[in-house]
Amino acid sequence: MTTQCPKCKAENPDTKQFCGDCGTQLTPAKETPIHTKTIEVPKEELTTGSTFAGRYQIIEELGRGGMGRVYKATDTKISEKVALKLIKLEIASDKKTLERFGNELRIARKIVHKNVGRMYDINEEGGTHYITMEYVSGQDLKGLIRQTGQLAIGTSISVAKQVCEGLSEAHKTGVIHRDLKPSNIMIDREGNVRIMDFGIARSLKEKGITGAGVMIGTPDYMSPEQAEAKELDQRSDIYSLGIILYEMVTGRVPFEGDTALSIAMKHKSEAPKDPKEYNAQIPGDLSHLILKCLGKDKDSRFLGAGEIQTELENIEKSIPTTERIVPEKKPLTSKEITVTFGLKKLLIPTAVVIALIVIAVVIWQFLPQMEVVPPELDRSSIAVLPFIDLSSQKDQEILCDGMTAEIITKLSGIQGWKVMNTASVMRFKNTEKDIKDIGQELDVSTILLGSVRKEADDLRVDVQLVNVSDRFQIWGNIYQQKLTRIFEIQSTIAEKVVRALKAELSPEEEERLQKSPTDNLEAYNLYLQGRWLWNKRTKEGFEDAIKYFKDAIEKDTNYAQAFAGLADSYRLLGVYGYIPEKEGYQKSKSYVMKALEIDESLSEAHTTLASIKLDYEWDWEGAKKEYERAIQLNPNYGSAHQWYANYLSYIEGRHKEALNEAMRARELDPLSPIINQNVGRRLYFARQYGQAIEEIKNALKIEPEFWPSHRVLGLSYLGKEMFPQAIEELEKAVDLSGGGLDPLMRLGYAYAVTGNQDKAIQIMNDLKSRSKDEHIPPIAYAMIYIGIDDNDLAIEFLEKAYEERSSELTKLKVHPFYDSLRSDPRFINLLKKMNLE
């Protein structure tokens, strides 16, 4: 046998180890060849025409950046073009970095939006880690700016609006871009914009990979908080968008420098020049918008991209129509995705030389030092802040308030979460408070923001659902409809909010969300004004509220909530002694039954009916059932919990449970004066006078001149035997109520028990004089006679109060005022007659 030389092809005997002609070593014929395993070396670049990972046929290199090279490739398994990014070895060698890539890409690829380039996956092939993403045929925005110097105003607005849409979708998913810049914004041949590279820049591990060629963010577009390594939210992207807008309309970035550090320092401390200084054609509103985006303090910027989009659309209306379309592109190069940067803009790498180490440490302080992960959203509570009137005439306040209240009403019927009541959120109308501060003050995890623009019969409503802890936009949308469809818009917004917060809905809740209180917008506005006046708890407030409720019913005779408003007004007019209680309760009962006839599911009406059964009919079991029914229908109706607390305290003596209900009401409506004072009131009836005083003092911080709070504070001081303070507070209550009977009779009692019987008798005489022109209920006299220790007359007038069915008698079993009568057989008999004993 012979062996052929692999070099010269000469035939040699198989016993030879070397070729006889050229000396080349021959493979031994009788020995088994030794096979060695090939060690795969990770690739950092690919050649055109090659196939990578068994499926990606490389078409061309598109660019290179801090993470590695980007290629245009055909995915042969699905016959589609993709962008393929190879990750540099120094990055891929860090296991934790790769884990973060995987985690964040799983989130980023959930973003499905026409203005966001899709992220597909991260994989490994032969030791090479790579990312696949959507390939966009077109030109990056940076290249377009370089070609034109600066873009037309209309083109800039068109691009920015689309970027806003993409950002809004990403932010609600919980993703911050953190490297938003023109080279990461693609414009296809039809002028459609795509934001690229979501979920990548923020994944880099900050320490240990800041060597040459590795970029964490881009200094020209970094927000001040990013440069300072502070915690980031979507407003960091808003700042970067402001830089991009600035560059589009001026052809330059606002801050330039020779090093990353110098640029970072300018972002932190130097005010940008007005872009109009570089381009006088920029509209003033657009210049203002850009500078607001570039606020050093993130709280001074727009909260979300949706707000910017709305403003851009308004500005767009004022520019010539011919400028509103993105112009045709110049012939494109094959580098559709550009990832280029200059060496002087790189972040300075770590070095071994002491001087460079110092510089690197300084720069490191300006780089992100904290991994940003998607927030774990607590979506158990929500506040709907007052909608903002963006109409040109600023004359749609009532419409805005109506939309706010109606969405609150719809959301309040959902079980399992907390919805702040209207009275509390309305205190934030026109506020400049930060959303995080508002959330903490109201103790909610999410906030719905909204604006309304009405022009003639056209309505535009912009809404954003925001997570309080990190200001991430969870959901947002813009609705443009005719005014006649306002109730449909409100139902849609409420439903979308529920879906965004992933609340489970029962069929009844689904139906409630779609129901409109009235089809008459004017009637609804009248009703809202009535409720606002009713909450004042004054005689004039109740009387004016009644007028508005009646006017609303004239507009819509089947307006159940307006009938409920009338019932509430007449009931409290009687309770506070402004009209005879019998008259108040009879009218209240008539109106509340009409409301329930129209809408049996109305929680407000069931609450009022429960209070009628409690305070006038003395039907304890019926009252309890109605309160429970009201809370079942609307677990977020604060007043239902407030008045149910009264029942638990007065009738069942369950002061702890009563306090819990009062505190639940306050949790739902923390800025309501009447609900806040009720917490102190429950403590007063539980004889916890010290705690009651502290609670009422806190309530008075909300509304210092709210007379019911001064009344309870005075009574609590009386319980603590702090007599001067008690008299002072009760006198304030009388003055602030305009001489109201309710605080006046308690002041008469306080005068008597503190040794001022002359003043107590003077009040008694004043009441007798007033009785010539108005009805003075017997309970007023009884209370003062108790104070001056005349038990016979006190019992006599309590019996008369019983005949009149005075609501004050529901407190007989627990009120400290009656302690001196508790052993009197006549008093015990009265308790039995009322089924309180």
Residue 151 has pLDDT above 80, yes or no: yes
Residues 301, 152, single domain; the answer is: yes
660 phi and psi angles, rounded to 5 deg: -60, -45
CB contact at 8 A, 673 and 699: yes
Co-location of 354 and 447 in the same domain: no
Backbone angles phi, psi at 602, to 5 degrees: -80, 110
Helix (H) or strand (E) holding 450: strand 446-455
The boundaries of the domain holding residue 828 are: 740-837
Which of 3-17, 52-66, 278-292, 560-574 is the least confident region?
A: 3-17
Q: What is the largest CA-CA distance in the chain?
A: 143
CA–CA distance, 474 with 464 (Å, rounded to integer): 8
Amino acid at 817: F
Residues 270 and 164 in one domain: yes
In degrees and rounded to multiples of 5, residue 422 shows phi and psi of -60, -40
Decide if 154 is inside a domain. Answer: yes
d(CA 464, CA 310): 12
Q: Are residues 196 and 316 in the same domain?
A: yes
Query: Are 355 and 390 part of one and the same domain?
Result: no
Q: What is the mean pLDDT of residues 629-648?
A: 92
- The whole-number pLDDT of residue 766 equals 93
**What pLDDT shows up at residue 231?**
78
> pLDDT band for position 811 (50/70/90)?
very high
Per-residue model confidence (pLDDT) at position 579: 87
pLDDT, average across residues 185-194: 82
Q: What sign for the dihedral angle of Cα 297, 299, 302, 304? A: positive
Mean pLDDT of 774-799: 94
pLDDT (mean) for 809-834: 95
Tokens 């719905």 locate to: 448
Q: What is the DSSP letter of 116?
A: B
Nearest to 616 by CA among 651, 591, 585: 585
Non-local CB neighbours of 569 within 8 Å, separated by 6+ positions: 530, 534, 542, 545, 546, 549
Output the CA torsion sign for 832, 833, 835, 836.
Answer: negative
CA 358 to chain centre: 43
Instruction: Give the pLDDT band of residue 197 (cuts 50, 70, 90).
Output: confident
What is the SS3 assignment for 482? strand
CA dist., res. 801 & res. 796, Å (int)? 9
Positive or negative: CA dihedral 513, 518, 521, 525: negative
Last residue of a domain, one of 497, 516, 535: 516
Query: Which tokens sit at 613?
Result: 């059964």
Q: How many CB atoms lie within 10 A of CB 375?
A: 14
pLDDT given at position 7: 58
Domain count along the chain: 4
CA distance linking residue 627 with residue 702, whole number of Å: 27
Classify residue 248: in a domain, yes or no: yes
Q: How many CB atoms lie within 10 A of CB 83?
A: 25
Range name among 213-227, 398-412, 784-798, 813-827 with the lowest pLDDT average:
213-227
Q: What DSSP assignment string belongs to 232-300?
A: --HHHHHHHHHHHHHHHHHSS-S---SSHHHHHHHHHHPPPPPGGGT-TTS-HHHHHHHHHHT-SSGGG
Contact (Cβ atoms closer than 8 angstroms) between residue 568 and residue 602: no
Residue 654: predicted pLDDT: 94
Tokens of 49: 């025409």
Q: Compute the distance between CA of residue 397 and CA of residue 1 in angstroms, rounded to an integer.
A: 104
pLDDT tens per residue, range 400-446: 888 888 888 888 877 778 888 887 888 888 877 888 889 988 889 99
Quote the pLDDT of residue 392: 77
Q: Looking at the structure, tell me whether residues 278 and 400 fall in a common domain.
A: no
Same domain, 153 and 277: yes
671 domain-assigned: no
Regarding beta strands 128-134 and 119-125, do their DSSP bridges make them parallel or antiparallel, or are they unpaired? antiparallel
Burial zone of 775 (CB within 10 Å; 0-12 exposed, 13-18 middle, 19+ buried)? middle
Please give the pLDDT value at position 25. Answer: 60
User: What pLDDT was estimated at residue 246?
Assistant: 96
Give the residue-averaged pLDDT of 512-522.
79
Domain contains 715? no
Distance, CA of 117 to CA of 112 (rounded, Å): 8
In this structure, the answer to whether residues 357 and 430 fall within a common structural domain is no
Residues 683 and 689: their CA atoms lie apart, in Å, by 7
Q: Which of 201, 206, 203, 230 is closest to 218 using CA atoms?
A: 201
Average pLDDT estimate for 128-134: 86
Q: What is the pLDDT of residue 353?
A: 38
Give a yes or no: residue 311 inside a domain: yes
pLDDT for residue 22 is more than 70: no
Return the minimum-mean-pLDDT range out of 23-32, 449-458, 519-528.
Answer: 23-32
- Tokens 């639940």 found at: 664
For residues 187 and 229, membership in a common domain is answered with yes
Same domain for 321 and 233 = yes
Residue 181 domain-assigned (yes or no): yes
C-alpha 767 chain-centroid distance: 52
Mean pLDDT of the chain: 82
**389 and 456 part of one domain:** yes
Q: Cβ-count burial of 468 within 10 angstroms (0-12 exposed, 13-18 middle, 19+ buried)?
A: buried
pLDDT for 12: 64
76 phi/psi in degrees, rounded to 5 = -70, -20
Q: What is the DSSP string of 574-612?
A: HHTTSS-HHHHHHHHHHHHHHHHHH-TT-HHHHHHHHHH
Burial per residue of 150-159, b for 16 or more beta-carbon CB atoms within 10 angstroms, e otherwise: bbbbbbbbbb
Whether the model clears a pTM of 0.75, i.e. scores above it, the answer is no
Which of 372, 331, 427 is closest to 198 using CA atoms? 372
pLDDT digits (tens, 9 = 90+) for 317-345: 877 644 444 433 333 333 333 333 333 33
Token reading at 590? 């008539």
pLDDT of 767 higher than 70: yes
Q: Give the residue among 712, 720, 709 at the shortest CA–CA distance from 753.
A: 720
Tell me, what's the pLDDT at 335? Answer: 34
More confident position, 689 or 71: 689
- Selection from 688, 684, 739, 745 nearest residue 709 by Cα: 684
Q: What is the dihedral of CA 393, 399, 403, 409, to 10 degrees?
A: 150
Cβ–Cβ < 8 Å for 188, 286: no
Long-range CB contact pairs, 67-72, < 8 A, 24+: 67/91, 67/200, 67/204, 67/214, 67/215, 68/44, 69/44, 69/45, 70/337, 70/339, 71/46, 72/135, 72/334, 72/336, 72/337
Confidence class of residue 768 from pLDDT cuts 50, 70 and 90?
very high
Is the pLDDT at 570 greater than 90? The verdict is yes
- Say if CB 144 and CB 247 are below 8 A apart: no
Rounded distance, CA 646 to CA 674, Å? 13
Query: Could you read off the pLDDT of 365-379 as tens digits, one per residue?
Result: 443 333 333 334 445
Tokens 């014929």, located at residue: 29
Q: Confirm whether 20 is domain-assigned.
A: yes
Residue 781 or residue 324, greater confidence: 781
Q: What gap in Å lies between CA 566 and CA 182, rounded to an integer?
A: 60
What torsion do the CA atoms of 554, 556, 561, 562 make, to the nearest 10 degrees?
Answer: -10
| Residue pair 417/400 in contact by the 8 Å Cβ criterion | no
Q: Nearest CA to 665 among 626, 698, 639, 631?
A: 639
Residue 203's pLDDT band (cuts 50, 70, 90): very low
Task: For residues 154 and 247, state if they share a domain.
Answer: yes
Residue 364's pLDDT is 33
Cα–Cα nearest to 707, from 672, 736, 731, 728: 736
Mention every residue, 6+ apart, whose C-beta is less than 8 A from residue 791: 785, 820, 821, 824
Here the tokens at position 729 are 């507070």
- Asked if the structure places residue 232 within a domain, the reply is yes
Q: What is the CATH number of the domain that holds 297?
A: 1.10.510.10
What pLDDT shows up at residue 66?
60
Q: Is 81 exposed, middle or buried (0-12, 13-18, 19+ CB in 10 A)?
A: middle
Residue 705 has pLDDT above 60, yes or no: yes
Residue 281 identity (one-letter amino acid): Q
Q: Is the pLDDT of residue 181 over 50?
A: yes
SS3 (DSSP) at 478: strand
Looking at residue 494, which CATH number applies to its domain? 3.40.50.10070
| pLDDT for residue 163 is more than 90 | yes
